[in-house]
Amino acid sequence: MSSLEVLRTGPLCLVEDLGRPGRAGEGITVSGALDRRSLAQGNRLLGNMIGAPALEVLLGGLHVRPDQDALVAVTGAWCPLTVDGADVPFGTAVPVRRGAVLALGRTERGARSYLAVRGGFSPTGDFGGSWSRDTSSGIGPEPIGAGDRIPIGRQHAGRPLVAGVLPATQPPGEVTLRLTPGPRPDALDAADRWLLATKAGVISAESDRIGLRIKGFQLHGQTSDGASEALPLGAVQAPPGGELIVFLADHPTTGGYPVIGVVDLRDLDVLAQCLPGQHVRFSLRPVPRY
Amino acid sequence: MADGLRLLPYGRRAILVGAPDARSRRALTRWLSEQPLGAVQVVPAEVTILLDVSDPSVSDDDARSHLSRVARRLRDVDLSRLTEQPLPETTPTVIEVRYDGPDLRATADSFGLSTEALVDWHTGSPWTVEFLGFMPGFGYLTRADHQRAVPRLESPRSAIPDGSVGLAGLYCGIYPRSSPGGWRLLGQTDHVLFDAAGRGATLSPGDRVQFSATR
């Protein structure tokens, strides 16, 4: 089996696919790539199954060397790419000869790049049909470190595409998140709604794959009896401290703090590319009726 | 619409079902497990059940139609008839515990019991797994005669060893792996609660657990 040798990594490098949905009843969270769209794009470029495992590279800085000729694609946050020192294009399928060094430089826009390989990665540590590393519970393959050899799998579905994709966008100004209020009708009072609709908040440095923290919204309509209840992906908690926490892929399956609403799934891909200091606004959506 | 049942839209891909009490939540969870649910997963907690389309490959529109179908069925449920049916009694899983936890004595004191009497009480009859949450395989266990809420530690421990058996609120829980936490620890077990190599969680909601003291 061919593999990719890791020569060095940046701050964090994890194997992620589309996660393990449907097992929250066991306390197992969905996990998976934070920017699912970019993961899927990388796999599409290479003719892989759409959810084949790739490397989620936080802030770049990854150097790898395949032991067989390989076809790779880097998507998500833009970073300079070289093979043996020569520039190669971002967001398209790139051949890397056996023994050549593929280097992802420092991320210049956004936070997370995805290195996909034709066939996908298949390291040990998969659980429940997924290779995603769940940072909250430790399920899934260990974080990638220098010296690792990551086996390449056979999750291809067709031919590679001769095409390119745009890097994930991280607007320089503000990101607007679509928020559906709930689950409780009084989750937000009129003053809270006004605040959310007119002010901008700032992403705090304590954000991670479990939750993205936003400072700057002092809401007051929230109460909770503290009873544990299950939370969907994208739920926004408002604990007493004043920060909002948007629950991302590795969120705990239950929680006891008040929840003010849920961020649209497609906006979570954008959030995955936001760095601390990024300004964030909300746009309130109508609550569906059943 | 069933009496006392609330269907709360929870974002665009989930509904939170509020039950009047834990008993009806239990009965409803069981009823839901017998229904065709499509992509909707059922995640019970204390007195709520989350109906969630967590698979991101299902579109928001499809999620909505799956949820609408389940919501329609829920509206026709007669909760009083559901709760009349006794839940099946399963054979308890025996979990062996070394009762040497750091909070055993203080907890016994707060119950007005000797440590031996607390252990006798804890092992006296089976507990029931109400729901799982917090971390993979972490079950919230209840027993009808446990009605004295146990306060969490004021300052949580930064690392609770895996296998720790503790009390908090009206629940008993076992840590499947090491974690920070504020539960009052009575003892320790080698029982596997989460099998990361295959089966996943080894307890399910509705299961019964009989603790047994070992040395």
B87 within 8 A of B30, measured Cβ to Cβ: yes
Sequential DSSP letters for A159-184: PPPS-B-PPPP--SSEEEEEEEE-SS
Residue B10 and residue B75 in one domain? yes
- B201 in A contact zone (CB under 8 Å): yes
Give the largest Cα separation in chain B, rounded. Answer: 58
Whichever domain contains B19, its CATH number is: 3.30.1360.40
A259 within 8 A of A187, measured Cβ to Cβ: yes
Q: Which residue of A has its CA nearest to B50?
A: A230
**CATH architecture, domain A174-284:** Beta Barrel (2.40)
What are B58's two structure tokens?
Answer: 């299902």
* CA count, 13 A, side-chain hemisphere, B130: 22
Phi then psi dihedrals of residue B15, to 5 deg: -130, 135
Chain A residues with CB inside 8 Å of B15's CB?
A: 183, 290
pLDDT band at B3 (very low <50, low <70, confident <90, very high): low
* β-strand pairing of A279-284 with A174-181: parallel
Residue B112 and residue B33 in one domain? no
- B13 in A contact zone (CB under 8 Å): yes
* Residue partners of B154: CB distance under 8 A and separation at least 6: B182
CA distances from A169 to A109, A202, B106 (A): 8, 18, 55
Which residue carries 């019991």 as its tokens? B113
Residue B105 and residue B194 in one domain? yes
- Residue B148 included in any domain: yes
CA atoms of A43 and A161, how far apart (whole Å): 10
Residue B120 and residue B173 in one domain? yes
Whichever domain contains B201, its CATH number is: 2.40.100.10
Residue B80 and residue B179 in one domain? no
- Residue B155 included in any domain: yes
- Residue B167 included in any domain: yes
- CA B103 from chain centre, in angstroms, equals 22
Q: Quick count: other Cβ atoms within 10 Å of Cβ A276?
A: 14
A251 within 8 A of A32, measured Cβ to Cβ: no
Residue B16 and residue B48 in one domain? yes
What are B164's two structure tokens?
Answer: 């720790």
Sequential DSSP letters for chain B: --TT-EEEE-TTSEEEEEPSSHHHHHHHHHHHHTS--TT-EEEE-SSEEEEE---TTS-HHHHHHHHHHHHHHHHT--HHHHHHSPPPPPPPEEEEEE---TTHHHHHHHHT--HHHHHHHHTSS-EEEEEE-SSTT-EEEE-TT--SPBPPPSS-EEEEPTTEEEEEBTEEEE-SS-EEE-PEEEEE----SEETTTTEES--TT-EEEEEEE-
Reported ipTM: the value is 0.93
Residue B15 and residue B54 in one domain? yes
**Which of these three, B84, B115, B139, is where a domain ends?**
B84
- Residue B1 included in any domain: no
pTM for the whole structure: 0.92
Residue B192 and residue B136 in one domain? yes
- A209 in B contact zone (CB under 8 Å): no
Domain count, chain B: 2
In the three-class reduction of DSSP (H, G, I as helix; E, B as strand; rest coil), residue A152 is classed as strand
- Residue B176 included in any domain: yes
- B170 in A contact zone (CB under 8 Å): no
Of A139, A230, A287, the CB nearest to B50: A230
Residue B99 and residue B205 in one domain? yes
For the stretch B62-100, pLDDT in tens is 999 999 999 999 998 888 888 777 777 789 999 999 999
Element (H, E) at A213: strand A211-215
For the stretch A101-140, pLDDT in tens is 999 999 988 999 999 999 999 999 999 999 999 999 999 9
Domain ranges of chain A: 3-151, 174-284
Residue B78 and residue B99 in one domain? no
- Residue B14 included in any domain: yes
Compute the nearest-CA separation of A250 from chain B (Å).
11
A-contacting residues in B 92-131 (Cβ below 8 Å): 131
Domain that holds residue B25: 6-84
pLDDT in tens, chain A (290 residues): 899 999 999 999 999 999 999 999 999 999 999 999 999 999 999 999 999 999 999 999 999 999 999 999 999 999 999 999 999 999 999 999 999 999 999 998 899 999 999 999 999 999 999 999 999 999 999 999 999 999 999 999 999 988 888 888 776 789 999 999 999 988 899 999 999 999 999 999 999 999 999 999 988 867 777 788 999 999 999 988 889 999 999 999 998 889 999 999 999 999 999 999 999 999 999 999 98
CA atoms of A26 and B100, how far apart (whole Å): 28
- A142 in B contact zone (CB under 8 Å): no
Phi then psi dihedrals of residue A226, to 5 deg: 80, 0
What are B98's two structure tokens?
Answer: 């070394």
A43 within 8 A of A49, measured Cβ to Cβ: yes
B97 within 8 A of B213, measured Cβ to Cβ: yes
